[in-house]
Structure 1
Amino acid sequence: MKKNVIDYATATGEDIVLSLPPTHPRPSLKEEIEEKIRRQLVSGEMRPGHLYSANNMASQLGTSNSPVREAMLSLSGEGLLEPVRNRGFRVVLMSPADRQEVYDLRRLIEVEAVRRVASLRLSSEQASTLMSLALAAREQLPDAPGGDLLPYLDADHDFHCYLVDLLGNKRWSQIVRTLRNQSRINGVYQHLGDEEKDRLSAEEHIAIADAVRRGEAILAADLMVRHLDYARP
């Protein structure tokens, strides 16, 4: 990632200071389990319409039942799982209509978010962190066609969420996270695997970060509209 920052600075003739995202407190057991289950939902390993019990998931993850059930209830609150009385949890099946609704909301909320962030006077640390996340996402692209996209999807998520977090509006950030998670379940992005399109998407992160850093609000919003096209149903 450091080499990419240097390459970027050389190409633009500007000084870029490598800045890593802020560290977060160590997650609780429930949060760790929640993230593991969320990754299974994103990868498609947990299949839509299928039932999963907290007991079976606890055995699979090698932990106790209670934090697993708490994690699955939390994911239910995000619209990713559906509790089924006395049976467990069903993976929500996102229909084409559901995905269109999520996409429409993301267009409204994320585009406005990036426009507002670009209108702020970001600190040099915030701007550098945003660019570092954009460059890090590009680094996580698979080395070969058909490779594992999950690392890139994680890095993509980190970039988008940090961008919205810069607004300092916790509710806005939570809504974006929920919508993004809903758009990612059922393994919907695992079919991408088009090396050229994936790289173009990664490069768009860099262009968005640069527009935000420069305070070009209209350009940043236009770039985000184009970037979100990959999520169009």
Structure 2
Amino acid sequence: MPGTGGVTRSTLRQQIADALRDEVLAGRLRPGRAFTVKEIADQYGVSATPVREALVDLSAQGILEADQHRGFRVPEYSVADYRDMIEARSLVTDGMFQVLASGHPAFGTPPEDPRTAAALTTVRRRGEEAQRAAAAGDLTILIGYDLRFWRELSNLFGNPYLTAFLDRLRVQSWVCAVQHLLRLPDLRGRLWAGHTELVDALARRETETARRIVAAANSHSLALLERLTGG
């Protein structure tokens, strides 16, 4: 990792974690790929300590798995795992929509709160970028914007535990899905792209519409993976 001589260990730890996370989410580190702390330290030309810390962080996020005897490896998630992730995500988002319908101030009334309006504009912009990436079939760009979209959307509920939990689920979902989606030679038009429709429904507090949008997205993603795996 060039140019790291002047950075702190904490920064180096984050840089390594970000680099490996991107490799896994892009599908360049394949499921089952195992490696040791020393291997990664040698690859980046750094000491073992920040590498070990970065790998532990990624394990906590579900991006890697710790192997007691061999170091770390990329998880091998099955379609059954993906179904469980979808179910868990649905339980979280249904709860979000329920409290919003019950009067949770997450989205406020934009004319009364400029900060809410600005936050919704930002979330919608992430959704527009995700939709463009989906239309172009650019999986790596889509994943990045999709994760940012959901992170910023859940942030509006003001509960950092909710945001962290949902983000972890969505990251794991993409780690599972990407290995199968890369089998398709052309992803244009094959990936869900209803982000702006969802945020607009939530901004209007049309929670039942939002629930249907998310349910359709989940069904679409699961059906696509099942077709690709024969599952």
Q: TM (normalized to structure 2)?
A: 0.76
Report the more deviating stretch, 117-126 or 210-219: 117-126
Alignment correspondent of 1:35: 18
Describe how 1:39-188 pairs up with structure 2 within 5 A.
39-114=22-97, 116-117=99-100, 120=105, 121=108, 123-141=116-134, 143=136, 148-185=138-175, 187-188=178-179
CA distance in 2, matches of 1:221, 1:148: 26
Name the aligned partner's letter for residue 89 of structure 2: R
Name the aligned partner's letter for residue 160 of structure 1: W
For each residue in 1:167-196, what CA deviation from the matched residue of structure 2 results, as whole angstroms up to 9, or x when unmatched?
111111111111111111153343454312
Q: TM (normalized to structure 1)?
A: 0.76
Alignment correspondent of 2:196: 206
Flag the structure with more relative contact order, 1 or 2, with Cα contacts below 8 A and sequence separation at least 6: 1
Q: How many residues align?
A: 201
CA distance in 1, matches of 2:211, 2:65: 34
Alignment correspondent of 1:18: none
Report the more deviating stretch, 223-232 or 97-106: 223-232
For each residue in 1:70-127, what CA deviation from the matched residue of structure 2 results, as whole angstroms up to 9, or x when unmatched?
1111111223322223531122211232222111101111233245457531521122
CA distance in 1, matches of 2:189, 2:67: 42
Alignment correspondent of 1:221: 211
Output the aligned Cα RMSD. 2.4
CA distance in 2, matches of 1:117, 1:63: 47
Does the 8 Å contact 1:115/1:218 carry over to 2?
Answer: no
Alignment correspondent of 1:20: none
Report the identity percentage.
27
Name the aligned partner's letter for residue 124 of structure 1: A
CA distance in 2, matches of 1:197, 1:83: 33
Name the aligned partner's letter for residue 60 of structure 1: Q
